[in-house]
Chain A
Amino acid sequence: AQKITQTQPGMFVQEKEAVTLDCTYDTSDQSYGLFWYKQPSSGEMIFLIYQGSYDEQNATEGRYSLNFQKARKSANLVISASQLGDSAMYFCAMRPTGANSKLTFGKGITLSVRP
Chain B
Amino acid sequence: DSGVTQTPKHLITATGQRVTLRCSPRSGDLSVYWYQQSLDQGLQFLIQYYNGEERAKGNILERFSAQQFPDLHSELNLSSLELGDSALYFCASSTSGAQETQYFGPGTRLLVL
| Chain A interface (Cβ < 8 Å from any Cβ of B) | 33, 35, 37, 43-47, 50, 52, 91, 93, 95, 97, 99-108
Choice from A37, A101, A107 contacting B100 with Cβ under 8 Å? A101
Residues of A near B102 (CB, < 8 A) are 35, 47, 103
Q: How far is the CA of A102 from the CA of B109 in the complex (A)?
A: 21
A27 → chain B closest CB, angstroms: 15
Residues of B near A101 (CB, < 8 A) are 56, 100
Choice from A43, A45, A52 contacting B98 with Cβ under 8 Å? A52
Q: B106 contacts A44, CB within 8 Å?
A: yes
Q: B55 contacts A44, CB within 8 Å?
A: no
Inter-chain CB contacts under 8 Å: number? 61
Residues of B near A46 (CB, < 8 A) are 2, 104
| Residue of B whose beta carbon sits closest to that of A97 | B98
Q: How far is the CA of A44 from the CA of B4 in the complex (A)?
A: 11
Q: Is B20 an interface residue (CB 8 A)?
A: no
3 closest pairs, A vs B, by CB? A45-B104, A105-B43, A102-B45
Q: A44 contacts B107, CB within 8 Å?
A: yes
Q: Is B77 an interface residue (CB 8 A)?
A: no
With a 10 A CB-CB cut-off, give which of A52, A93, A95 has the most chain B CB atoms. A95
Q: A99 contacts B109, CB within 8 Å?
A: no
Which residues of chain B from 34 to 66 have any CB-CB distance to chain A below 8 Å in the complex?
A: 35, 42-43, 45, 48, 50, 55-56, 58
Q: A43 contacts B99, CB within 8 Å?
A: no
Choice from B48, B58, B101 contacting A100 with Cβ under 8 Å? B48
